[in-house]
Structure 1
Amino acid sequence: MNIFGTTISHLERGLDFSAMKGKTISQNIANNETPNYKAKNVSFKEVFANVKGNSLEAYRTDERHVAFKTNSKHMGVFDYSNLRYRHNGNGVDMDKEQADLAANQIYYNAVVDRLNGKFNTLQNVIKGGR
């Protein structure tokens, strides 16, 4: 029996996603002047769009659910191999990267705020409402 529910583990996964996205955006910004560097992005929606056949595995609550599995270590990280913004082949759009960085920071702060709320509720329960 899980006394804390699944909310904290879901919020943890949200923080993991935000960290992976932040690292990818930082790599793109750091390689802004690198010739032939292709910008990368983190998107779980693209994982499901690019999956072929039985390459993902998920927890199934019913045998009628579709089975799928994957061995991907960096699930969700994609590069834009056919994208070029400059004559040197670099595919980093700094305006887009800065907007993505700001959006990711807002998402991260929202998840941390929700996690703090959960911990404050637990602390309040442990103290007996005092």
Structure 2
Amino acid sequence: MAISFDKALGVHPQTIAIRSQRAEILASNIANADTPGYKAKDIDFARAFKAAKSNQQSGNTMLRTNDKHLSGGTKLNSGVELFRNPNQTDTGDGNSVDIQVERNLYVQNALEYQASLQFLTGKFKGLKKALGGQGA
């Protein structure tokens, strides 16, 4: 009997991928806090998760950048990346990054990433135990 990793691991691989992508975006916001005209971005987690789930159910396909490449693989839908509505008034340079908000969101995202990673680790431990490797 074959093991379905999609069923065994659940949603955790998708949440880790989305949280990783969100960490990159938030880090970019922090890095560009003093860049004139830079607009803060974020990910709509619910929409990204829904897209990841539909990709999981319909089967994954790789993004092909050249006709000679083989097909297969997965890429997150970048359509879930949005510009954030600024909480502060314009400082005159057109930058919409609020550094405190970005740092708080980055820390929150890091904690949620760690939680997803711990859940995924637990799933792998359960699989290992089920396959008879209880001694490890």
Give the alignment's TM-score, normalised by structure 1: 0.70
Cα gap change, 1:7/1:77 in structure 2, threshold over 3 Å: closer, same or farther?
farther
- 2:11 maps to a residue whose letter is H
Question: 1:14, 1:111 within 8 Å by CA — same for their partners in 2?
Answer: yes
Cα deviation, residue 6, structure 1: 2.0
Write the distance in 2 (CA, Å) between the matches of 1:33 and 1:88: 9
Cα gap change, 1:6/1:28 in structure 2, threshold over 3 Å: closer, same or farther?
same
Cα gap change, 1:117/1:45 in structure 2, threshold over 3 Å: closer, same or farther?
closer
* 1:17-54 CA distance string (max 9 Å, x none): 1011101101101111000110001114467xxxxxxx
Find the counterpart in structure 2 of residue 75 from structure 1.
79
Find the counterpart in structure 2 of residue 37 from structure 1.
38
Write the distance in 2 (CA, Å) between the matches of 1:99 and 1:85: 20
Give the alignment's TM-score, normalised by structure 2: 0.67
- 1:118 maps to a residue whose letter is K
Report how many aligned residue pairs link the two structures.
Answer: 109
* 1:35-76 CA distance string (max 9 Å, x none): 0110001114467xxxxxxxxx8869xxxxxxxxxxx94031
**Structure whose residues are more often helix by fraction:** 2
Measured on the aligned residues, the alpha-carbon RMSD in Å equals 2.7
Find the counterpart in structure 1 of residue 115 from structure 2.
110
Q: Which runs of 5+ in 1 are unaligned?
A: 48-56, 61-71
Please give the residue correspondences for 1:26-105 in structure 2 after superposition, counting only pairs within 5 Å.
26-45=27-46, 73-80=77-84, 83=86, 85-105=90-110
Cα gap change, 1:36/1:20 in structure 2, threshold over 3 Å: closer, same or farther?
same
Find the counterpart in structure 2 of residue 11 from structure 1.
12
Cα gap change, 1:45/1:109 in structure 2, threshold over 3 Å: closer, same or farther?
closer
Cα gap change, 1:129/1:76 in structure 2, threshold over 3 Å: closer, same or farther?
same
Q: Which runs of 5+ in 2 are unaligned?
A: 49-53, 59-75
Write the distance in 1 (CA, Å) between the matches of 2:31 and 2:39: 12
Cα deviation, residue 87, structure 1: 1.6
Cα deviation, residue 128, structure 1: 5.3
